[in-house]
């Protein structure tokens, strides 16, 4: 089977999950891997990033690797393309939902965070809220209060999901899977022509939109159960190993044929 696209998460895959400087020698190996296999078409590197990170962060990755396909930010709430430097909301995002989410942000900032100094609001997102803490067990204290606030204001319906050191608050129906499906359709492709990489249960949405799915060694046990291949190496080294597995090799062979 020949595949055309690689869909990959960033944190825990292309970079370590921890908040520290990247190991330059390892990252250089990754950049050289992509550089040495670039094609000559409209999409020289057939990589679709699919992350919870905000658009500015994803834009940097697009410029480093020359990624011209649409890229998924904020777990599907925002789509970014490098070629025209354009950001747009993903499928399922509406003005009313954005208004409700912004009201929730004000509630969290004014009513919850002053009592939880070890939890930090993550700046830069437009259609998703994310909180960070070195003590993620503290998030449990906030979820009930968030649920009650949303009930009182009448929505929007949310999906609240922890991921390592983060608590991601997303709009229901807005996710990585719907965004991937839309992008593949725009590219004239489908899930049977895509392979994926992920490391947390939130990446199950990637698994559902690709024909072959792989995880680095550091991936959560829950998502490993859905993997077709699990690398013996963690994060970047795991991805480098994954990229050399037959389904992923076929992507590079296709663009250079």
The string of pLDDT tens digits covering residues 185-238 is 999 999 999 999 999 988 999 999 999 999 999 999 999 999 999 999 999 999
What confidence score (pLDDT) does residue 257 get?
A: 63
Task: Give the pLDDT mean for 9-34.
Answer: 93
Percent of the chain with pLDDT over 90: 86
Which domains, and CATH codes, for the chain? 5-91+174-255 (3.40.50.1000), 95-171 (3.90.1070)
Instruction: Give the residue carrying structure tokens 């680095």.
Output: 216
What confidence score (pLDDT) does residue 239 get?
A: 98
Is a pLDDT exceeding 70 seen at residue 1? no
User: Model pTM greater than 0.75?
Assistant: yes
pLDDT-derived band at 111 (thresholds 50, 70, 90) equals very high
Is a pLDDT exceeding 90 seen at residue 183? yes
Q: Who contacts 109 (Cβ-Cβ below 8 Å, separation ≥6)?
A: 121
Task: Give the pLDDT mean for 29-57.
Answer: 94
Q: Using an 8 Å Cβ cutoff, are 30 and 16 in contact? A: no
């Amino acid at each position: 089977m020949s595949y055309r696209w690689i869909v990959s998460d960033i944190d825990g895959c292309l970079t370590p999950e921890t908040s520290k400087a990247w190991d330059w020698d390892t990252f250089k190996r990754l950049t050289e891997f992509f550089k040495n296999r670039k094609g000559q078409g409209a999409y020289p590197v057939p990589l679709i990033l699919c992350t919870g990170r905000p658009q500015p962060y994803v834009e940097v990755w697009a410029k480093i690797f020359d990624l011209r396909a649409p890229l998924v930010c904020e777990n599907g709430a925002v789509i970014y393309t490098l070629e025209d430097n354009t950001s747009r909301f993903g499928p399922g995002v509406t003005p009313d939902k954005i208004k409700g989410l912004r009201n929730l942000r004000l509630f969290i900032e004014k009513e919850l965070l002053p009592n939880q100094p070890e939890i930090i609001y993550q700046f830069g997102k437009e259609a998703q809220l994310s909180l960070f803490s070195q003590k993620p067990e503290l998030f449990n204290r906030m979820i009930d209060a968030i649920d009650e606030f949303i009930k009182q204001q009448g929505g929007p319906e949310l999906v609240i999901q922890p991921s390592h050191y983060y608590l991601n608050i997303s709009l229901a129906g807005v996710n990585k899977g719907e965004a991937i499906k839309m992008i593949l359709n725009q590219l004239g492709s489908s899930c049977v022509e895509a392979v994926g990489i992920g490391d947390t249960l939130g990446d199950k949405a990637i698994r559902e939109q690709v024909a072959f799915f792989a995880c680095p060694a550091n991936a959560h046990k829950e998502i490993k159960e859905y993997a077709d291949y699990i690398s013996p190496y963690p994060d970047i080294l795991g991805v480098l190993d994954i990229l050399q597995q037959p389904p992923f090799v076929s992507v590079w062979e296709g663009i250079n044929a």
